[in-house]
Amino acid sequence: MLFTFLSLATCLDNGLAKTPPMGWASWEQFKCTINCWPFPSICISEDLFVQHIDRIVEDGYLDAGYEFVNIDDCWMKSKRDSKTNRLVEDSSRFPHGIKWLADYAHSKGVKLGIYNDFGSQTCSGYAGSEGYLIEDAKTFSEWGIDFLKMDGCYSNPLDQNDAYPGMMYFLNKTGRPMVYSCSWPAYNMEMDYSPIPEFCNLWRNYVPDIHPNWESISAIIDYWGNQESWIQLAGPGHWNDPDFILVGLKHGLTQIESETQFAMWAILAAPLIMSNDLRNIDDWAKEILLNKEIIAVDQDKLGIQGRRISKLEEQGQVWVRQLENNELAVALLNRGDSKIDITAVFESFSEHQTFAIRDLYQHEDLGEFTTNFTANDVPAHGVRMLRLVPK
């Protein structure tokens, strides 16, 4: 029966993620590298996460709002403990244990996240949570986990309609607040989407996974340009998740494409979960990730997800997000392969006709404009990210 747990708990009452979560996760950069002998610096291990906790704190990311360091797949053994049925970390790679790592993160002011899967095994073949939701919720609570990402590989999509709400209930029962990230709709696209915000703080619903190329980024942006029903579900405490921020990932996006991804995720009120190597990141990428003006757009307390207002000739698009105090964030996006001019006509998205406009990448006040604004020579795959204040 759909949503059996409605009788137990009618809403997600953890009080978390009132703005989109921000942090770092291991998956896209490090995948499931577990052989630490030839690859000690990039394997999924205690050292990797300690070093990234340190980088989050020492390099200014925590001050900018990136508070989570999230362990993705491949941290655990392939089988549960034979006596307790509990999940067990791979002690060869996590010699002090996950609780120790959580304590270390907390001592630095950072929060620790972890990954598991509702199926019989995780996407990479490790022990899943099927049949053990209560035990795993207790384990994560006792370890001091602050963020749980639950995947859905090797599970029946129909079972997820009970399992995802069920895990929310068991997490709440532990008494420990944990941000709850669901992959529920990504595996079950025919479901009724409207109840998801009652059970999840954020959710993935676009497949396939993000990849570090323009084709993937632009496909995700296009998807959200056509998802009015999903957009309406986002708000404080519950967010659409278009996947990781790939800014700084080596051999991936160009600087222009990286600026575009970061700006568009802010327009989408998306979680800003980086996946890169913070120990080895270009200065330009760090500058994008620490752009406090664009982060402020993403973290706007109204929590209204932005929308595509118009698609223009030559691949130009206008996206708008409502902010506090009647202000607006506007992204003028060039999806094409050559530079173009893009014009935003104010009456297409606002009752106000005069705005003071600020460029959020150039950190420059552009002046006051009436009826419209034109960005000249927006580069291929690029964006002009603006903040509009009505006058």
Closest CA to 328 of 310, 311, 353: 353
Which residues fall within 8 angstroms of residue 111, CB to CB, at 6 or more apart?
Answer: 23, 67, 68, 69, 105, 146, 147
Closest CA to 147 of 185, 186, 188, 110: 110
CA distance 272 to 207: 18
Cβ distance 386 to 330 under 8 Å? yes
CA distance 307 to 234: 12
Which residues fall within 8 angstroms of residue 337, CB to CB, at 6 or more apart?
Answer: 315, 380, 381
Q: Torsion over CA of 277, 184, 149 and 162, rounded to 10 degrees?
A: -170
Question: What residues act catalytically?
Answer: 151, 209
* Percent of the chain that is helix, strand, coil (3-state, to 5): 30, 25, 45
CA distance 205 to 183: 7
Residue 167 CB coordination number (10 Å): 25
